[in-house]
Amino acid sequence: MIGRVCSIAISLILLAPAFVARAQVRNPDSKALFEEDTKERKREIEKQQSKIMTTDKGGSKFLNFSAPNVEFLKEGNMVKGSGGVLISGDGISAQAESAQVNQESKDATLEGGVMFSGMSGEIASDKAAINFDNETGTFTVAQFSMSDGDYFISA
């Protein structure tokens, strides 16, 4: 009896692998695995980058300038502020401890905790020289974050 039980047990052990269901793993499809490499996705990314990098030429007619301490300088048609300055217009804004803006050219110089924000992202820096008409500028010790694509750059 023990011999018969042992032979049944041995035969089950030897035959068991034949009865086990096995799933065959399919080779991954390179198009599905690397979706960002498809031509459609590359075109979509280029389109988004182009949209982000395009600025409105001609700019806004008005800038809002607010600060606790404001001074108007007739020479150069400048507005100067300190104590926490906020400059805004046409979907963009800049904040700093102190700033001055040329009302004709829309050139601004900002210092101290500068935060520049637009539709697509934000730039934080120590100092900045910005033109609000064409939305260009130079930033010193800056960190840049972009909401489209969640990019963060520090320079």
Q: The domain that contains 88 carries what CATH number?
A: 2.60.450.10
More confident residue, 28 or 121: 121
pLDDT(60) > 70? no
- Give domain status of residue 39, yes or no: no
- Residue 82 forms part of a structural domain: yes
Domain span at 69: 64-154
Strand partners, 79: 72, 101
Instruction: Output the pLDDT for position 15.
Output: 53
Q: Which residue did the predictor score with more confidence, 138 or 152?
A: 138
pTM: 0.56
Asked if residue 140 belongs to a domain, the reply is: yes
What percentage of the chain's residues is helix, strand, coil (to nearest 5)? 25, 45, 30
Any domain includes 130: yes
Looking at the 3D structure of the chain, how many domains does it have? 1
- pLDDT at residue 127 greater than cutoff 70: yes
Which pLDDT score, from 0 to 100, does residue 101 have?
92
56 falls within a domain: no
d(CA 49, CA 51): 5
Token pair for residue 22?
A: 């096995």
Exposed, middle or buried: residue 14 (CB in 10 Å: 0-12, 13-18, 19+)?
Answer: exposed
Percent with pLDDT over 70 in the chain: 62
Identify whether 26 is part of a domain.
Answer: no
Mean pLDDT (whole number) for 3-11: 56
62 or 43, which is more confident? 43
Calculate mean pLDDT across residues 45-71: 72
Name the band, by pLDDT with cuts 50, 70 and 90, for residue 100. very high
pLDDT at 80 over 70: yes
Q: Pick the most confident of 53-57, 103-107, 110-114.
A: 110-114
Average pLDDT over residues 90-112: 89
Pairing of strands 69-73, 78-89: antiparallel
Residue 84 belongs to some domain of the structure: yes
